[in-house]
Chain A
Amino acid sequence: MEPTTEQPETLPPAIASRLRRLDRAEAILDPRTDGAVLEAARSYFAARPAAARARRARWAVPLGAAAAVLLAAVLVRPIVFHTPSADDVDGSGRVDVLDVLALARMRAAGGDASGITDARIEELAYRIVALDSRRAP
């Protein structure tokens, strides 16, 4: 039996692969080569137009700020600009008996032409006194 020829075949493939990678010789880089590459890179980027480099930075900040403002406006809008309820007839920002009175006055003034029914007035009146607002009157 020859251990030198049979032993690598018994190793798991992952370990064998790592061993092969370790066995590679590292490239010996001369510091002068590093310096030359660095100098070539500097001269290349220095040759690019300054406007092309600045354009991205100049637009990125205002564009990001505008996006942030837009997002904030969308999120805050329902809180700041409260959508008035259909029951807030007098536009006071709250629904109470004064809205019922406003409906009744509109009904009394316009009759059926007002489009307001007695049932609608009564429904709102019972809703404002409901202790459980989720429950229908």
Chain B
Amino acid sequence: MSRRARVLHAALALLGAAAVLSTTAQPNAGTFTTVDVFVDSDTPVAAWQVELTEQRGAMQIVGIERGDDSTFRDPPFYDRVAVERGTTDRIVLASFSLSGAAQLPRGKVRIARVHVRATGAAQPDYEARLVAAGTVDGRPIDAQLSLETQPGR
């Protein structure tokens, strides 16, 4: 083997080792997605409780924000221990406002935004269920719930 070939082989070996090291040293950053939760109701919503589930059984929640209405608590109530633990298959969100009916949102309103980190190759499949929603005087209302996901980076 000529000297030039030996140098070429050594360079290739170094490049391969560097590539392996770079893939093992850096954790898979994954992709980040925001899941917006909307409630649609003709009656002003003073309180809501939603259960968000990832159908494949695992999601890593990295942040939870309030929705568009600033009279509601930011962030909504959620299980902080479960979120800090890492991966979970579901999360329950809830919030309420003591504002008057005139100040409360009606129609289709974003009530929460959940930031999720996706690590797998498959597309996440989210499902939301409205546990409860109520008016200013605490009367239950049958509001419509919907989700919108937006891919991050």
Say whether, besides A92-B140, A100-B47, A101-B46, A128 and B94 are in contact (CB < 8 Å).
Answer: yes
The smallest beta-carbon distance between B47 and chain A, in angstroms, is: 4
The smallest beta-carbon distance between A129 and chain B, in angstroms, is: 4
Q: Whole-angstrom distance between the alpha carbons of A129 and B50 in the complex?
A: 9
Q: Which residues of chain B come closer than 8 Å to A87, judged between CB atoms?
A: none
Q: Are A129 and B98 in contact (CB under 8 A)?
A: no
Q: Which residues of chain B come closer than 8 Å to A135, judged between CB atoms?
A: 81
Say whether, besides A125-B94, A129-B93, A97 and B79 are in contact (CB < 8 Å).
Answer: no
Say whether, besides A101-B96, A104-B98, A96 and B132 are in contact (CB < 8 Å).
Answer: yes
The smallest beta-carbon distance between A56 and chain B, in angstroms, is: 58
The smallest beta-carbon distance between B45 and chain A, in angstroms, is: 11
Quick one: which of A92, A96, A105 contacts B131, CB cutoff 8 A?
A96
Q: Which residues of chain B come closer than 8 Å to A88, judged between CB atoms?
A: none
Q: State whether the Cβ of A131 lies closer than 8 Å to any Cβ in chain B.
A: yes
* Number of chain B interface residues as a range: 20 to 34
Residue of B nearest to A95 (CB): B132
Judged by DSSP, the binding face of A is helix
Judged by DSSP, the binding face of B is strand
Q: Which residues of chain B come closer than 8 Å to A100, judged between CB atoms?
A: 47, 94, 96
How many chain A residues have a CB neighbour from B under 8 Å?
20
Q: Which residues of chain A come closer than 8 Å to B79, judged between CB atoms?
A: 126, 129-132, 137
The smallest beta-carbon distance between B54 and chain A, in angstroms, is: 13
Q: State whether the Cβ of B48 lies closer than 8 Å to any Cβ in chain A.
A: yes
Q: State whether the Cβ of B118 lies closer than 8 Å to any Cβ in chain A.
A: no
Instruction: Please tell me which stretch of B15-23, B24-32, B84-92, B145-153 contacts chain A, meaning at least 4 of its Cβ atoms lie within 8 angstroms of it.
Output: B84-92
Say whether, besides A105-B138, A129-B79, A129-B92, A96 and B98 are in contact (CB < 8 Å).
Answer: no
Q: State whether the Cβ of B95 lies closer than 8 Å to any Cβ in chain A.
A: yes
Instruction: Knowing that A92-B140, A96-B49, A100-B47 touch, tell me 16 more A-B residue pairs with CB under 8 angstroms.
Output: A97-B47, A97-B94, A100-B96, A101-B46, A101-B96, A101-B134, A104-B96, A104-B98, A105-B98, A126-B79, A129-B79, A130-B79, A131-B92, A132-B82, A135-B81, A137-B80
- A sample of 5 cross-chain residue pairs with beta-carbon separation below 8 angstroms, ordered by A number, consists of A97-B47, A98-B132, A129-B93, A132-B79, A135-B81
- Report, nearest first, the 4 A-B pairs whose CB atoms are least far apart: A97-B49, A96-B132, A101-B47, A129-B92
